[in-house]
Amino acid sequence: MSGRKNQLEANKLQKRLRRNVGKAVADYAMIEDGDRIMVCLSGGKDSYAMLDILMNLQKNAPVDFELIAVNLDQKQPGFPEQVLPTYLDGLGIEYHILEKDTYSIVTSKIPEGKTYCSLCSRLRRGTLYGFAEQIGATKVALGHHRDDIVETLFLNMFYQGKLKAMPPKLLSDDKKNILIRPLAYCRESDLIELAELKQFPIIPCNLCGSQAGLQRNAVKDMLKQWERQFPGRIDAIFGAIKNVAPSQLADTELFDFTGLTRGVLDIDPSGHVEIEQLIQAINV
């Protein structure tokens, strides 16, 4: 009975993740007919899950699209080079392993004790985006999930003084690549569970994963504490990211505060306010 129950739970998990990915893809028009999607595969649980779910979606989607898995071997000491090729050969998917020694660049430029993530990410993005052009990819899929997006919101608020997160779909700064995040609606806890279920061959990041006191870890711990104390809080925060009211913030670039004027409602002789005017007044 226990085995059957576990199988039912596993089925529910996979259906939930497929549903969340399908909804995100539909809400943001992430995938279109004829797309050639470069799936960035790091060797972590999130990118494995993204590839797995997209391959499943590919079989049942109403549009045709290609998937190309791409990994960047950054030449970190001890990196198990054969893990990803062996896994991808088993899937029978087109893939490419790029080799670029960004490890040496990062460790030589960043002082000891400082976090590597920012420079490492920039170097990685530059290489991957350039390769996407080479292979004619129309979209670049990244494995960021709902929790990553919420964490980034607070990181930008606390350390950059900016109210921004990670959008589910984005045009890169060089305007040459459209980035999509199919896992935008997926909880990290579900992805952890899927990784255990599927036994993904996880490759830990030895470059930054071992650094103590990372800002993202501090924010992650804060959110976990909130979630324990107030279940559903992360869902509520993510919901707020999707439901922004510019007139209730303070950015003069997003809302014309200087142009605000008082309005007068016209009332007919019977004393009734016109419905359209009332609605407009409420929405101001």
How far is Cα 89 from Cα 23, in angstroms, rounded to an integer?
A: 29
Higher pLDDT, 263 or 198: 198
- Segment among 33-47, 74-88, 214-228 with least mean pLDDT: 74-88
User: Do the domain assignments include residue 226?
Assistant: yes
Residues near 10 by beta carbon (within 8 Å), at least 6 away in sequence: 197
Which uninterrupted H or E stretch holds 38? strand 35-40
The stretch 88-105 carries a mean pLDDT of 85
| Residue 258: inside a domain | no
Per-residue DSSP letters for 84-105? Answer: HHHHHHHHT--EEEEE--HHHH
Residue 136 lies in a domain: yes
Q: Is residue 256 part of a domain?
A: no
Q: Is 171 in contact with 28 (CB distance < 8 Å)?
A: no
* Helices 188-198, 146-155: inter-axial angle, 10-degree rounding: 140
Tell me whether residue 263 is in a domain. Answer: no
Q: How would residue 80 be classed by pLDDT, with cut points 50, 70 and 90?
A: confident
The reported pLDDT for the residue numbered 83 is: 93
Report the predicted TM-score, pTM, of the whole model to 2 decimal places.
0.84
Per the domain annotation, does 255 fall within a domain? no
pLDDT of residue 110: 62
Q: What does the pLDDT look like over 267-277, one tens digit per residue?
A: 555 555 555 55
For 13-38, what is the mean pLDDT?
Answer: 97
Q: What pLDDT does 154 receive?
A: 96
Mean of the per-residue pLDDT values for the chain? 86
Quote the Cα angle for 95-99-105, to 5°. 145
Is the model more confident about 17 or about 284?
17
Measure the CA–CA gap between 146 and 152, rounded to whole angstroms.
Answer: 10
Q: Tell whether 53 is covered by a domain.
A: yes
- 192-229 residue pLDDT tens: 999 999 999 998 865 554 444 578 889 999 999 999 99
Number of domains in the chain: 1
Would the pLDDT of 114 be above 70?
no
Q: Which domain holds residue 148?
A: 2-241
We report the CATH number of the domain holding residue 211 as 3.40.50.620
Q: Is 270 among the domain residues?
A: no
